[in-house]
Amino acid sequence: MSRGTALVTGASSGIGEAAAVRLKNAGFTVYAAARRVERMTALADAGVHVLKMDVTDDKSMVAGVKQIVADTGRIDVLVNNAGYGSYGAVEDVAMSEARYQFEVNVFGLARLSQLVVPHMREQRSGRIINISSIGGRMYEPLGGWYHATKFAVEGLSDSMRMELRPFGVKVVVIEPAGIRTEWSGIAAENLRKASAGSAYAEQAEHVGAFLDLAESPAVTSSSDVVAKKIVKAATVGHPRTRYPVGKGAGSILFTRWLLPARAFDAVMSSMYGLAKVLAKRLARPTGR
């Protein structure tokens, strides 16, 4: 018996792809949405329905939700996973890029939520699971625009949770840290491009090295770790408001809670200095 219908965005790779598989295995009828449907062949073969959807294109979101409701009559779980990281100093990043990151990470999430909420309210049940980041509760140099989007997701989710509770709709935030996906590579590439030849080039070397560490299993977790937590948030009777997940997530958030801002600044600065050294060591061959 099906648990209901789930829609997962950003499902062509990484966390979204893993979540679609896990939700399917948990008994949901799953619709996996992404811009690159050609990359979702494996999902289709596994029995997941694939949709071409761009969260910056309103028509594609409207059409996708209409198709799901026409096919199944309902939407029980929305996993707002689509997003990316654009790094660089606030001074260096073009405003067009800053606005686009908000379009993807915040406004796309909000608009898709607007489209599914009426169906959930009518059902008097539903789960909206927003993929934020520990970056929605802490900060780092050269990540201002990315952190701004995730802080926005956190605040938006809190307000939505209170608004929708009387209608039986639960809103949950997932806060990954250090997950091996395309995200870190995209963030590092954007950082180096934005900082090349700028006054922030030296800082970018350290932050870029830290982002590069996300490719190492020694300090990061797999996408499946997050997918498991998404399934828990979708199925447990009384989900928590937030689920930090991934190596170091709890420790980093506890440190941020414990320390005053200037002390946390010092901790983060030292971490990025060590990241450059560690990245070089991990890149060395282990044998002769």
Q: Mean pLDDT per 10-residue run, the chain (288 residues)?
A: 90 96 98 95 96 97 98 98 92 95 98 98 98 95 95 98 98 91 77 88 83 69 94 97 93 93 89 60 46
Specify the pLDDT at position 288.
33
Predicted confidence at residue 195, as pLDDT, reads: 87
The bridge status of strand 49-52 relative to strand 242-245 is unpaired
Please give the pLDDT value at position 216.
65
Per-residue model confidence (pLDDT) at position 189:
82
Residue among 84, 146, 138 nearest 271 (CA): 138
28 closest CA partner among 227, 251, 252 = 227
For tokens 């307000």, the residue is: 159
Residue tagged active-site, from 31, 146, 200, 243: 146
pLDDT of residue 287: 41
The answer as to whether 281 is a domain residue is: no
pLDDT at 278: 56
Please indicate, yes or no, if residue 205 is contained in any of the structural domains.
yes
Task: Assess if residue 283 is contained within a domain.
Answer: no
Asked whether residue 288 is domain-assigned, the answer is no
As a whole number of angstroms, the distance between CA 54 and CA 33 comes to 8
Residue 284 is assigned to a structural domain of this protein: no
**Of the candidates 193, 99, 96, 205, which has an alpha carbon nearest to the alpha carbon of residue 152?**
99
> Is 282 part of a structural domain of the chain?
no
Predicted local distance difference test score (pLDDT) of residue 204: 86
Q: What is the CATH number of the domain that holds 164?
A: 3.40.50.720
Q: Is 272 a catalytic residue?
A: no
For the record, the structure tokens of 228 come out as 């498991």
**What is the total count of domains within the chain?**
1
Provide the domain limits for residue 136: 4-276
